[in-house]
Chain A
Amino acid sequence: MDNPYKHQPSKAFWRSAVAEYSPIEMDGVYEPRFEITPEMAISAAGSCFAQHIARQFRQRGYNFQDFEPAPRMIDAETADEFGYTQYSARYGNIYSVRQLVQLFERAEGRFEPEDHVWETGGRFYDPFRPSVQPGGFATEAECLVERRFHLEQVAKMLKKTDLFVFTFGLTEAWENLNDHAVLPTCPGADVGTFDPELYGFKNFRFAEILEDAETFILYARERNPEMKFLFTVSPVPLTATATDQHVLPATVYSKSVLRAVCGELTMKYDFVDYYPSYELVASHPMRGLFYRPNMRQVALEGVARVMDVFFGAHAAGAAVQCGDNAAVSSDAADAKRIADVACDEEILEMFGS
């Protein structure tokens, strides 16, 4: 008797696709919905894991867009330290879609958050990208000059982007209770001052994130009707949860909701693709092999695996002239730099006992 499963390929069955393979042998996990060509103008944003993706697009010779390049008189290490070259503009990590939507609203002058500039220790910080300027800005005026320039560059982005890559990071966030501006970090954790009257915890739910993502997609395609989207979920667990849960179920909630949103978007829109970074690192068949001993940071080998599978699945990625920088470097110092990314969330670790 016939049934639909008889016609499924081997990749659809656990025994043939997972059980018989080691984590590094597993094949066919990702089949692109659309080809990403070297000509496509690619912009990227997201949580800290997204820095790896952005870096690889650059290094592998794709047309990765940088609307806020570093001043040319500084070296690569200084550029990275000052938040340049991590993404398509110097916005730092963007952990939630709400934060992403608000970034573009701010860039177009449609939203001016109440959180203007934070002063901490005599230095001044942009609340929406506190980590891009190590040690903060010297004056409030300097912070504002830099922010104005930054937003001007962000405003140019979507019209010139063919593919927008976003890495979903967290459902947990902190927002200003007055205007609901979402901040990348909890005020007071590193910079800024926490005021419970002013800031509130937000654990985004499925429907909210889906709505935000669709708002962003609509907004972006108003500016470029042909834009495609590549979404992925960061495999990096929470450093800490602000819920009353244990950090493990809090993490699984977060990642599950984000994964479900990506699934929903992929099913709904044929111009949206999902790349299973999360599954390739965090799912149980991977046995946690691709994490560092703290089971949180992704090891160099994990980054390499995720990137190799992605680029190997795109014909252009395999064919693009990569040079010595394309794959993960074997040089120890360079390798560490590649594995390490600037992660605002890690500051929370110091508050644990």
Chain B
Amino acid sequence: MTLYICGNSHTRALRAGAMYLEEHEGAEPMVVFPLGTADHEAAPFSEIVDGQVVLTNDRFHKKLKQFFGFSSFEPQHRWGICLGNHNSRIFRHEGWLSAAPTWMNAKGKTPVSEALFQRIVEDDQIYIRRFLTQLISTGVRPFVISAPWPVRPDPELTGIELSHDVIKAIDTRARVLFSEWLAERDIAIVAPPVEAADEDGFLKPNYAKGGDDPCHGNNKYGRAMMRKVLAHEAKMAQSGENVTRLA
């Protein structure tokens, strides 16, 4: 069964990794393409039409057709979705300069409770979650491929003056919340490779795109991540889990 992987701009690194693994490590051909950037996640981008999920975002819809040959997501196809855990969209908000999660007990900062933080994450991911819910309701059995670990921000480049502790606290908790949401719906998620994280949980420089790119993994990251994806798929194949199930 052909593995199809689509998603936001983090999918570019996955594509580079997939092409390398196909050429150098004998991986089965995959179809891996980004559909657009994370900006497109901030508005509704999907709906169910005639029992199948279609992408209502023009760019997404066009790229799905162009790169995959599909107008919709069909249950017989195996999909990896690279959406979610792009938490820089959350921690880059300047509101965090005067606020901090309550579990950090940061004096002088407006505390953000777990419930409020959960709401923030839900609001950030609302359309991604809606898309995934639509997929499983129409019989598609997707799995999620996480965005990379956060890149340690350089304030001069990114303008982010937030402490790394706060960034890490936000990213870690947001990942946990997304994973819990996925687990409740029996959607697997492939986390970024452990070897790509430094001792503080940030993406190691040799796995990051670098330069003025604030968040993406590089080709090395893509290779490491795709090895994890393929290992996940192999495990699912062994257990019969990636056999499509109708809703």
Q: Which residues of A contact B94 (CB under 8 A)?
A: 72
Tell whether, in the assembled complex, residue B116 and residue A72 are in contact, meaning their CB atoms are under 8 Å apart: no
Out of B95, B98, B102, B120, name the residue touching A146 (CB < 8 Å): B102
Tell whether, in the assembled complex, residue A138 and residue B93 are in contact, meaning their CB atoms are under 8 Å apart: no
- Give per-residue flags for B92-121: 1 if the beta carbon is below 8 A from chain A beta carbons, else 0: 011110110011010001111111100110
Q: Which residues of B contact A70 (CB under 8 A)?
A: 110
Tell whether, in the assembled complex, residue A72 and residue B115 are in contact, meaning their CB atoms are under 8 Å apart: no
Given the interface pairs A78-B119, A142-B103, the reply to whether A73 lies near B96 with Cβ below 8 Å is yes
Tell whether, in the assembled complex, residue A74 and residue B111 are in contact, meaning their CB atoms are under 8 Å apart: no
Q: Whole-angstrom distance from the CB of A149 to the nearest CB of chain B?
A: 5
Measured in the bound complex, the distance between the Cα atoms of B98 and A69 in whole Å is: 10
Q: Which residues of A contact B123 (CB under 8 A)?
A: 74-75, 78
Q: Is B187 an interface residue when CB atoms closer than 8 A count as contact? A: no
Tell whether, in the assembled complex, residue B102 and residue A71 are in contact, meaning their CB atoms are under 8 Å apart: no
Q: Which residues of A contact B (CB under 8 A)?
A: 68-75, 78, 82, 133-139, 141-142, 145-146, 149
A and B contact pairs by CB, cutoff 8 A, 12 listed = A71-B116, A73-B93, A73-B95, A73-B120, A133-B113, A135-B115, A137-B102, A138-B113, A138-B114, A141-B102, A141-B105, A142-B111
Given the interface pairs A73-B120, A74-B120, the reply to whether A137 lies near B113 with Cβ below 8 Å is yes
Q: Whole-angstrom distance from the CB of B93 to the nearest CB of chain A?
A: 4
Tell whether, in the assembled complex, residue B102 and residue A142 are in contact, meaning their CB atoms are under 8 Å apart: yes
Q: Which residues of A contact B90 (CB under 8 A)?
A: 73
Out of A69, A73, A134, A149, name the residue touching B115 (CB < 8 Å): A134
Residues in B118-148 with C-beta less than 8 Å from chain A? 119-120, 123
Out of A75, A78, A141, A149, name the residue touching B110 (CB < 8 Å): A149
Interface SS of B by simple majority: helix
Q: Whole-angstrom distance from the CB of A331 to the nearest CB of chain B?
A: 22
Measured in the bound complex, the distance between the Cα atoms of B123 and A245 in whole Å is: 47
Tell whether, in the assembled complex, residue B115 and residue A138 are in contact, meaning their CB atoms are under 8 Å apart: yes
Tell whether, in the assembled complex, residue A73 and residue B102 are in contact, meaning their CB atoms are under 8 Å apart: no
- Give per-residue flags for B32-44: 1 if the beta carbon is below 8 A from chain A beta carbons, else 0: 0000000000000
Give the number of chain B interface residues (Cβ < 8 Å).
21
Q: Which residues of B contact A73 (CB under 8 A)?
A: 90, 93, 95-96, 99, 120
Q: Whole-angstrom distance from the CB of A290 to the nearest CB of chain B?
A: 34
Q: Which residues of B contact A138 (CB under 8 A)?
A: 113-115
Q: Which residues of B contact A (CB under 8 A)?
A: 90, 93-96, 98-99, 102-103, 105, 109-116, 119-120, 123
Tell whether, in the assembled complex, residue B110 and residue A69 are in contact, meaning their CB atoms are under 8 Å apart: yes
- When C-beta atoms are compared, the residue in chain A nearest to B118 turns out to be A138
- When C-beta atoms are compared, the residue in chain A nearest to B103 turns out to be A142
Q: Which residues of A contact B102 (CB under 8 A)?
A: 137, 141-142, 145-146
- When C-beta atoms are compared, the residue in chain A nearest to B119 turns out to be A78
- When C-beta atoms are compared, the residue in chain A nearest to B104 turns out to be A145
Tell whether, in the assembled complex, residue A72 and residue B113 are in contact, meaning their CB atoms are under 8 Å apart: no
Q: Which residues of A contact B105 (CB under 8 A)?
A: 141, 145
Given the interface pairs A78-B119, A145-B111, A146-B111, the reply to whether A71 lies near B103 with Cβ below 8 Å is no
Measured in the bound complex, the distance between the Cα atoms of B105 and A146 in whole Å is: 9
Q: Whole-angstrom distance from the CB of B87 to the nearest CB of chain A?
A: 12
Tell whether, in the assembled complex, residue A149 and residue B111 are in contact, meaning their CB atoms are under 8 Å apart: yes
- When C-beta atoms are compared, the residue in chain B nearest to A71 turns out to be B99
Q: Which residues of A contact B119 (CB under 8 A)?
A: 74, 78
Q: Which residues of A contact B93 (CB under 8 A)?
A: 72-73
Q: Whole-angstrom distance from the CB of A275 to the nearest CB of chain B?
A: 32
Q: Which residues of A contact B110 (CB under 8 A)?
A: 68-71, 149
- When C-beta atoms are compared, the residue in chain B nearest to A134 turns out to be B115
- When C-beta atoms are compared, the residue in chain A nearest to B91 turns out to be A73
Measured in the bound complex, the distance between the Cα atoms of B109 and A72 in whole Å is: 12
Measured in the bound complex, the distance between the Cα atoms of B173 and A142 in whole Å is: 15
Q: Which residues of A contact B116 (CB under 8 A)?
A: 71, 74, 78, 82
Measured in the bound complex, the distance between the Cα atoms of B229 and A325 in whole Å is: 52
Q: Whole-angstrom distance from the CB of A142 to the nearest CB of chain B?
A: 5
Q: Which residues of A contact B111 (CB under 8 A)?
A: 142, 145-146, 149
Q: Which residues of B contact A145 (CB under 8 A)?
A: 102, 105, 111
- When C-beta atoms are compared, the residue in chain B nearest to A137 turns out to be B113
- When C-beta atoms are compared, the residue in chain B nearest to A138 turns out to be B114
Q: Whole-angstrom distance from the CB of B1 to the nearest CB of chain A?
A: 41
Q: Whole-angstrom distance from the CB of A342 to the nearest CB of chain B?
A: 16
Q: Which residues of B contact A141 (CB under 8 A)?
A: 102, 105
Measured in the bound complex, the distance between the Cα atoms of B84 and A25 in whole Å is: 57
Q: Whole-angstrom distance from the CB of B62 to the nearest CB of chain A?
A: 31
Q: Whole-angstrom distance from the CB of A83 to the nearest CB of chain B?
A: 10
Measured in the bound complex, the distance between the Cα atoms of B116 and A137 in whole Å is: 10
Given the interface pairs A142-B103, A145-B102, A146-B102, the reply to whether A72 lies near B95 with Cβ below 8 Å is yes
Measured in the bound complex, the distance between the Cα atoms of B115 and A145 in whole Å is: 14
> What are the 8 closest A-B residue pairs judged by CB atoms, nearest first?
A72-B95, A73-B95, A71-B99, A138-B114, A73-B93, A142-B102, A145-B102, A146-B111
User: Given contacts A78-B116, A82-B115, could you give 19 more A-B pairs where the C-beta distance is less than 8 Å?
Assistant: A68-B110, A69-B110, A71-B95, A71-B99, A72-B94, A72-B98, A73-B93, A73-B96, A74-B123, A78-B119, A82-B116, A133-B115, A134-B115, A138-B113, A138-B115, A141-B102, A141-B105, A142-B103, A142-B111
